[in-house]
Amino acid sequence: MMPLRPDTWVGYAFAIVAGFAFGFVLERAGFGSSRKLAAQFYLRDMTVLKVMFTAIVTAMLGLTLLTSLGLVDFAAIFVNPTYLGPQIVGGLIFGVGFAVGGYCPGTSIVAAVTGKMDAVSFLLGFGGGVLVFAGAYPLVGGFAQSGGGERELLSDWLHLPMGVVALLVVVMALGMFAGAEWVERWMRRRDARASEPPAESTHDDQAHAPAAAE
Amino acid sequence: MTQALVHDARPESPERPHWNPYLAGFALGLVLLATFLVMGRGLGASGAMARATARAVETVAPTWVHENGALGSYFANGARWWDDWLVFEVVGVALGGLAAGLTSRRFRLKVEGGPRIKPTSRLAFAFAGGLISGFGARLALGCTSGQALTGGATLALGSWAFMFAVFGGAYGVAYFVRRLWT
């Protein structure tokens, strides 16, 4: 029955292997580049959304399938506790930092080890943010712990079976992928039109260029 | 002639292409699934960075860190800051990223930013972005890895709320910081 939960040091060895694969895939996806990551927020490169939702759908379907086959004890799998208020406010703040800094923590590590100095700066700033939060804890700690912290699933909230919710997530992801492909094409056409000078002046430039050179 | 031969042997811009995003996502999903099956928990990043920060500050202000409401638990009851799966996982992330960067020939010392921004400004904004993200990640108890990806796959309600909030915050501010990127 899974999860296997090996001994501490076997687990730590596995952590390095899993982390290695995680970091390797992030780099190969192009996430060692702040420009590529930030392009997500200008609709020019939707790779962040595509990679993230494909990964979520893959792991989610694997977990639901193996649970329904009785191979995984889902109750023994860690589910992030829900603190709705702090998670929504923290998420909004985090998103602002993502758009300003061009990274999230995992991708900044990959960017830093592939030589990006701006990622090193982001990492130092992130440490600073952790400290600001720690310093402000007497003020914000109450809010940070509000909201119950229960193990609550989307399926509990929607009052639907997990399998149905998993199916809805797949449908939503496919819709988002279609939208992402469409918006990338649309932005490419728009950028191409913007960089193209009006047809008449192009013609004139070509006609006059040799004369001007002489 | 020699020049041409050298040039041929070491062509410019030898970067390997990125993986197809859906294939990369599928690979990432398999890694995430493996950590659930083996460890019973998913991936993460910000937790390890908070621990490393706490350890760094411990050298100058040990009492403050040990008694702090947000960081003290990393040292409570003789616990060691590094004694956590995420710390080892993040060491792996750095090694994996480095290996991938070297083999894709994308390793390059540089300051990367939008076409209109000076390197010094980019470094300052990267620091500011990190500062904001660090605060947000501690408030939300995780980041894009530990909350959005991991919690998303287990259908955790709060993680889904976090994920949409992240996109909301980023898209909401993108117009105002467009000079950084476009």
pLDDT, tens only, B151-163: 999 999 999 999 9
What CA–CA distance (Å, rounded) separates B177 from B125? 10
pLDDT, averaged across chain B: 93
| Residues A102, B174 contacting (CB under 8 angstroms) | no
What CA–CA distance (Å, rounded) separates A197 from A84? 50
- What the block records as the tokens of A12 is 């730590």
pLDDT at position B11: 52
User: Is the pLDDT reported for residue B20 higher than 60?
Assistant: yes
User: Is the pLDDT reported for residue B141 higher than 70?
Assistant: yes
pLDDT grade for A200, boundaries at 50, 70 and 90: low
pLDDT at position A173: 98
Per-residue b/e over B109-120, b at no fewer than 16 CB within 10 Å? eebbbbeebeee
DSSP secondary structure letters along A99-148: HHHS--HHHHHHHHHTTBHHHHHHHHHHHHHHHHHHHTHHHHHHHHT-S-
- What the block records as the tokens of A153 is 């699933």
Interface predicted TM-score (ipTM):
0.93
Tell whether A129 lies on the interface with B, counting CB pairs under 8 A.
Answer: yes
Provide the CB-side half-sphere exposure for A139 (13 A, CA). 5
Tens of pLDDT, residue by residue over A147-198, are 989 999 999 999 999 999 999 999 999 999 999 999 999 999 999 998 887 6
* CA-angle at B55, arms to B140 and A81, nearest 5°: 25
- Chain position carrying tokens 């019973």: B40
Considering only CB atoms, B133 lies closest to which of A57, A117, A126, namely A126
Q: End-to-end distance of chain B based on CA atoms, in angstroms? A: 41
User: Is the pLDDT reported for residue A208 higher than 60?
Assistant: no
**Which residues of chain B neighbour A87 with C-beta distances below 8 Å?**
140-141, 147, 158-159, 161-162, 165
Tens of pLDDT, residue by residue over A85-136, are 999 999 999 999 999 999 999 999 999 999 999 999 999 999 999 999 999 9
pTM of the model: 0.91
Mean pLDDT in residue range B138-142: 96
Q: End-to-end distance of chain A based on CA atoms, in angstroms? A: 82
Q: Searching chain B, which residue's CA lies closest to the CA of residue A115?
A: B109
pLDDT at position B12: 57
pLDDT at position A148: 86
What CA–CA distance (Å, rounded) separates B91 from B94? 5
pLDDT at position A197: 72
* CA-angle at B153, arms to B151 and B157, nearest 5°: 45
Tell whether A113 lies on the interface with B, counting CB pairs under 8 A.
Answer: yes
pLDDT at position A176: 98
In this structure, which amino acid lies at residue B53? T
Tell whether B47 lies on the interface with A, counting CB pairs under 8 A.
Answer: no
The DSSP code for B145 is I
Percentage of residues in chain A having pLDDT higher than 70: 92
Cβ-defined contact of B45 to A106 (cutoff 8 Å)? yes
C-alpha separations of A95 from A63, B9, B17, B167, B172 in Å: 28, 44, 28, 6, 9
User: Is the pLDDT reported for residue A205 higher than 80?
Assistant: no
pLDDT at position A211: 46
**Which residues of chain B neighbour A155 with C-beta distances below 8 Å?**
155
Tens of pLDDT, residue by residue over A44-89, are 999 999 999 999 999 999 999 999 999 999 999 999 999 999 999 9
**Which residues of chain B neighbour A3 with C-beta distances below 8 Å?**
36-40
pLDDT grade for B13, boundaries at 50, 70 and 90: low
Considering only CB atoms, B134 lies closest to which of A84, A89, A130, namely A130
pLDDT at position B119: 96
Per-residue b/e over A100-117, b at no fewer than 16 CB within 10 Å? bbbbbbbbbbbbbbbbbb
Shortest Cα distance from B11 to chain A (angstroms)? 21
pLDDT grade for A213, boundaries at 50, 70 and 90: very low
pLDDT at position B14: 81
pLDDT at position A198: 66
**Which residues of chain A neighbour B136 with C-beta distances below 8 Å?**
90-97, 129
pLDDT at position B6: 42
